[in-house]
Chains A and B, each alone.
Chain A
């Protein structure tokens, strides 16, 4: 079955430090991949997406992600974390075909230390 794996359930970083959140997908030669962020009790906000083309994609709030087909990975990065980045981050893949069904990873909860 199609799946998205986020190996890190919880990560703590210091403010100003760099961040990398891992994501592995399982399906498709041309995956449609997304990173979303969720603050407590809120909906999901899209950070960035990859459909094709340049494997390094830029998103909002200073985030970027790199698509690596050989590793089936789509890791999220930020060079310098701010306290306001504390939230839960979800990687997702489109199910494929004519649909907007998303398969989500289990999420990574990011804590930021002052």
Chain B
């Protein structure tokens, strides 16, 4: 079966701009989580959506937001980009709660 698909794979944005990243989970998976990975902070949880509802949120500013659609596809948005937002953003999907997470290949965001 198809894995988790993230688009785009690479993005270069300018400070102050906004960006939207997309994630298509494995078919049938209703839980989608987002993580930010940086060399300094490691892997940090952003938020989780389950059946279109945000179920958990990490400790990130309000500039980071997300949503999930009825087909379980998810998007995350970062507004007013800062240089420190440069990171690998990973999406993961799971079938049920407390289940293994399947990760996409990530979107590499560079803010200049």
On whether A101 and B33 interact (CB within 8 A), knowing A43-B90, A44-B90, the answer reads: yes
In the complex with contacts A100-B31, A103-B45, A41-B98 CB distance below 8 A? no
Indicate whether B108 reaches chain A with its CB closer than 8 angstroms. yes
Decide: A100 near B106, CB < 8 A? Known: A95-B56, A106-B42, A107-B42: no
Kindly list chain B residues whose C-beta atoms are within 8 Å of the C-beta of A102.
Answer: 33, 35, 43, 45, 92, 101
Give the docked Cα–Cα distance between A41 and B106 (Å): 8
Contact B100 A104 (CB under 8 A): no
B88: which A residues are within 8 A, CB to CB?
Answer: 41
Given contacts A34-B100, A100-B98, contact A42 B45 (CB under 8 A): no
Interface assignment of B97: CB less than 8 Å from any CB of chain A = yes
The bracket for how many chain B residues form the interface is: 20 to 34
For the complex, what is the distance from the CA of A29 to the CA of B42, rounded to whole Å?
A: 26
- Please tell me if B64 contacts chain A, counting CB pairs below 8 Å: no
Interface string of B2-37 (1 = CB under 8 A from A): 001010000000000000000000000001010100
Task: Give chain A nearest CB distance to B2 CB in angstroms.
Answer: 14
Contact of A42 among B55, B98, B99, B105 (CB under 8 A): B105
Q: Taking A32-B98, A97-B97, A101-B45 as given, write out 5 further A-B residue pairs in contact, using a Cβ cutoff of 8 Å, ordered by the A residue number.
A: A44-B90, A46-B102, A99-B97, A102-B101, A106-B42
Residues of A within 8 A of B (CB): 32, 34, 36, 41-46, 49, 51, 90, 92, 94-95, 97-107
B interface, CB within 8 angstroms of A = 4, 6, 31, 33, 35, 42-43, 45, 48, 55-56, 58, 88, 90, 92, 94, 97-106, 108
